[in-house]
Structure 1
Amino acid sequence: MLRFAPLPALCLVLASVVPAVAADDLAPQKAEATAIVKEYGGRLQGELKAAMESGGPVAAITVCNQRSPAIAADMSARTGWMVARTSLKPRNSASAPTVWEEGVMRDFERRIAAGEPVADLARAEVVEEGGAPLFRFAKAVPTAELCLNCHGSELKPETQAALRHLYPTDTATGFKVGDMRGIFSLSKRM
């Protein structure tokens, strides 16, 4: 029996590394993250719609390439959150998911297969990263009709050429309306 005595002590030490946080205790962070996602998505969608109206899908691709990272950087600097987008089929290899993000998206895929609507999928939790607690938030991005111009299965030749030019390792096509295209991913030290 003595050989197992260190096990309870080890469990206590590990449990104290990241204090348990009740779901209600995360409500303020979740609300703040949700508001940031709404603003980020709204700003990006507004710029994409304007680009589509003025120059079609090729102009929208340029907005995604240049403005999306700029909007995320601006929001990160302004809010103190790390703000990003990622996907299991990333357009830009620099936006490939982390292990946590991939796990969340795989879980979302299972939930979608079980009938949950993409637009309802979100996760908020505290994880340990770098020896300190980190609040993580993910919100699924559903594919809308407008998205199919650049993310669908049937792309115009000029759209394909623009994607090959800006994103030589692009895998973000073949989506249908209602598919989960990826997630908004936010994090903040606690």
Structure 2
Amino acid sequence: MKRRYLMLLSLLPLGLHAAPAVDTSQLQSEAQALIPPFQQQLLATVKQAVAEGGPAKAVEACNLLAPGIAAQHSKAPWQVGRTALKVRNPDNAPDAWERQVLEQFAQRAAAGEPLEQLRHGEVVNGEYRYLQAIGTAEACLGCHGSNIKPELLTLLDQHYPQDQARGFKEGDLRGAFSLRRPLDR
């Protein structure tokens, strides 16, 4: 038994005892750089839809185009998306890690921390995961606020029968951009 133990100890200098260090600051920088173009294309798509047909057209555009925009901005090895504690599209529901971080964001926001500072990245199960808060802007209230027009409510109910993403006020935590990438690439 002692001999086997000594043999195992002799392997430690070969680097078999620890995983290589991960430069999380570089990964965070990469993740942060992917968010603005994704966010800008989402906003431009919604604005164009509103200009062409009002809020109803924006609901249809979000329903049909937002998943493709996320896919378009997911550049290997990164996967880009959005999530929230109160989702409109069930495909964007948070996993356990995202839920935990979003709940921390909500606590931090309630304590007065600015939404722009709410971001978190870490290594989880062989992946780098990153969340950055999304605030509710005035422009979001037509579809996500408390006073949604009845015809728009009907359309939302048709497209999103389990919609939870209503009743927000300007400045509320709406959700987060969620990015992930495997560490083996």
The answer, yes or no, to whether TM exceeds 0.5 is yes
Out of 163, 178, 181, the position equivalent to 2:156 is: 163
Distance 1:154 1:32, change over 3 A: same
Find the counterpart in structure 1 of residue 116 from structure 2. Answer: 119
Find the counterpart in structure 2 of residue 60 from structure 1. Answer: 58
State, as a whole percentage, how many aligned pairs show the same letter: 44
RMSD: 1.5
Largest Rg, 1 or 2: 2
Find the counterpart in structure 2 of residue 42 from structure 1. Answer: 40
Find the counterpart in structure 2 of residue 143 from structure 1. Answer: 136
Structure 1 residue ranges without an equivalent (≥5): 1-15
Out of 82, 87, 91, the position equivalent to 2:88 is: 91
Find the counterpart in structure 2 of residue 106 from structure 1. Answer: 103
Measured against aligned partners, the alpha-carbon deviations of 1:108-167 in whole angstroms (never above 9, x if no partner) come to 011111111112211111111xxxx10000010100000001000000111101101100
Q: What's the offset of the Cα at 1:19?
A: 5.9
Q: What's the offset of the Cα at 1:20?
A: 6.1
Structure 2 residue ranges without an equivalent (≥5): 1-16
What TM-score results when the alignment is normalised by the length of structure 2? 0.85
Measured against aligned partners, the alpha-carbon deviations of 1:42-93 in whole angstroms (never above 9, x if no partner) come to 11011111111221111111121111100111112x3421111111111012
Corresponding residue SS for 2:99:
helix
Question: Contact (CA 8 Å) 1:108, 1:121: kept in 2 or not?
Answer: yes
In the aligned structure 1, how far is the partner of 2:176 from the partner of 2:141? 17
- Counting matched residue pairs gives 167
Distance 1:19 1:80, change over 3 A: closer
